[in-house]
């Protein structure tokens, strides 16, 4: 006979009859209030910091106090579980805080020039004392450059990943995978220098009467070099996650391998592939050095990415942030907010399109 049965005859040990003491919510809140109050008294009393240090010290005091109080009420094991859970919540909060801070800063400072003039005009003939001027030319340049880079990098990246997963065997596949990994860590300025030395200085003179020429297309080539390894690696990982029985069932029905890849493997991995592509697009849209090296930037609108200098939003932010005009910082913040919003809209649209394609199947 167990101890419980001796103390309570007739009581069966079921989950409904098992009870343990729980730390009241009010006690938890009280521990937090006392911890942060003591931290504030120490920090401000001795003048050793500001509210950030109060939060750090208060969090430490709270975890220690929670462990002690919960240990007395719930027991050592439950106290350790509650403390570790609090640490996990704190880590999640610390991860969210920088993102929230960036979003708040962008929104609060970017709304100053969020008007029709900013989105409908360029910086052509805008002086240092002119409060007007916008980023229409930079938005056009970003859309064209990133769009062309995506058209070049995504098909090559997806096809390369298909080869590595479905066909690649032996040393050649290992060599391709190795160089893809190496390209992932290439600095953006190196890609810009490569396109500058190859396309701008060697190839472009053939189409421009022997004179080198900057262009938005050259920037697209540099961005495609940066996007390609990200697309390959993310697509490769997504294709590897497709269950093998799906392929085997298709082969058992007599479907050839290429049609299995097109009709079964790619649709299954499509959401993950879209995520990887949008990560590559976000990186390309935020690059400044390649655009500065091979597109040159421009104050006027240029709709032709194959001829003449062209601007981008990232380069526009860089130039306006270093401009001496008192109106330039507002333009830079609004352009940064526009760039983030543009990437967000493209990501949401791509996700919805991928989801719609899945539902239609």
DSSP 242: S
Question: In the prediction, which pLDDT does 8 show?
Answer: 47
Question: In the prediction, which pLDDT does 336 show?
Answer: 93
Question: In the prediction, which pLDDT does 18 show?
Answer: 52
What sign results for the dihedral spanned by CA atoms 126, 128, 129, 131? Answer: positive
Question: In the prediction, which pLDDT does 7 show?
Answer: 47
| Torsion angles phi and psi, residue 310, rounded to 5 | -145, 145
Question: In the prediction, which pLDDT does 20 show?
Answer: 63
Q: Cβ contacts of residue 74 below 8 Å, gap of 6+?
A: 20, 21, 22, 23, 82
Report helix, strand or coil for 75. Answer: coil
Question: In the prediction, which pLDDT does 53 show?
Answer: 87
| Torsion angles phi and psi, residue 349, rounded to 5 | -65, -40
Residue 94 C-alpha from the chain's centroid: 17
Domains of the chain, CATH where assigned: 21-110 (no CATH), 117-360 (1.10.3720.10)
Expressed in percent and rounded to 5, the helix, strand and coil fractions of the chain are 75, 0, 25
What are the pLDDT tens digits along the chain (361 aa)? 554 455 445 545 555 445 567 888 888 889 999 999 999 999 888 888 888 888 889 988 998 998 888 888 888 888 888 889 888 988 898 888 888 888 999 999 999 888 888 999 999 888 888 888 889 999 999 999 999 999 999 999 999 999 999 888 888 988 988 999 888 888 999 999 999 999 999 999 998 888 899 999 999 999 999 999 999 999 999 999 999 898 989 999 898 999 999 999 999 999 889 989 998 999 899 899 999 999 988 889 999 999 889 999 999 999 999 888 889 999 999 999 999 999 888 888 888 877 765 545 5
Question: In the prediction, which pLDDT does 11 show?
Answer: 47
Q: Which residues pair with 296 in a beta bridge?
A: 310
Cα–Cα nearest to 282, from 344, 353, 348 = 344
- Residue 313, Cβ density class (10 Å: 0-12 exposed, 13-18 middle, ≥19 buried): buried
For residues 145 and 216, the answer to whether their CB atoms sit within 8 Å is yes
DSSP characters over 297-320 = --SS----TTSS-B--HHHHHHHH
């Amino acid at each position: 006979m167990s101890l419980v049965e001796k103390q309570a005859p007739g009581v069966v040990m079921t989950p409904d009859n098992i009870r343990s003491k729980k730390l009241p919510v009010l006690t938890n809140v009280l521990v937090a209030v006392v911890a942060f109050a003591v931290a504030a008294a120490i920090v401000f009393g001795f003048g050793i910091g500001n509210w950030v240090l109060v939060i750090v010290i208060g969090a430490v005091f709270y975890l220690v106090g929670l462990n002690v109080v919960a240990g007395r009420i719930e027991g050592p094991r439950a106290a350790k579980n509650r403390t570790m859970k609090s640490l996990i919540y704190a880590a999640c909060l610390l991860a969210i805080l920088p993102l929230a801070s960036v979003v708040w800063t962008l929104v609060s400072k970017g709304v100053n020039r969020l008007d029709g003039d900013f989105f409908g005009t360029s910086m052509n003939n805008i002086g240092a004392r002119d409060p007007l001027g916008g980023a229409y030319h930079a938005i056009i340049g970003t859309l064209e450059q990133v769009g062309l880079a995506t058209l070049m990098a995504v098909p090559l990246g997806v096809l390369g990943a298909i080869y590595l997963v479905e066909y690649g065997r032996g040393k050649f596949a290992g060599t391709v995978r190795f160089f893809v990994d190496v390209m992932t860590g290439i600095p953006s300025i190196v890609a810009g220098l490569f396109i500058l030395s190859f396309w701008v200085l060697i190839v472009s003179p053939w189409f421009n009467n022997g004179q080198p020429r900057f262009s938005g297309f050259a920037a697209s080539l540099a961005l495609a070099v940066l996007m390609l390894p990200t697309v390959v690696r993310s697509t490769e990982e997504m294709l590897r996650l497709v269950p093998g029985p799906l392929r085997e069932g298709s082969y058992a029905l007599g479907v050839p391998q290429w049609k299995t890849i097109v009709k079964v493997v790619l649709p299954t991995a499509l959401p993950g592939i879209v995520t990887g592509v949008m990560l590559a697009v976000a990186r390309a849209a935020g690059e400044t050095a390649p655009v500065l090296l091979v597109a040159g930037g421009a104050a006027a609108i240029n709709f032709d990415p194959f001829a003449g200098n062209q601007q981008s939003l990232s380069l526009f932010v860089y130039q306006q942030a270093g401009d001496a005009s008192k109106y330039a910082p507002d333009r830079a913040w609004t352009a940064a907010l526009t760039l983030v919003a543009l990437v967000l809209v493209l990501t949401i649209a791509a996700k919805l399109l991928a989801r719609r394609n899945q539902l239609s199947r």
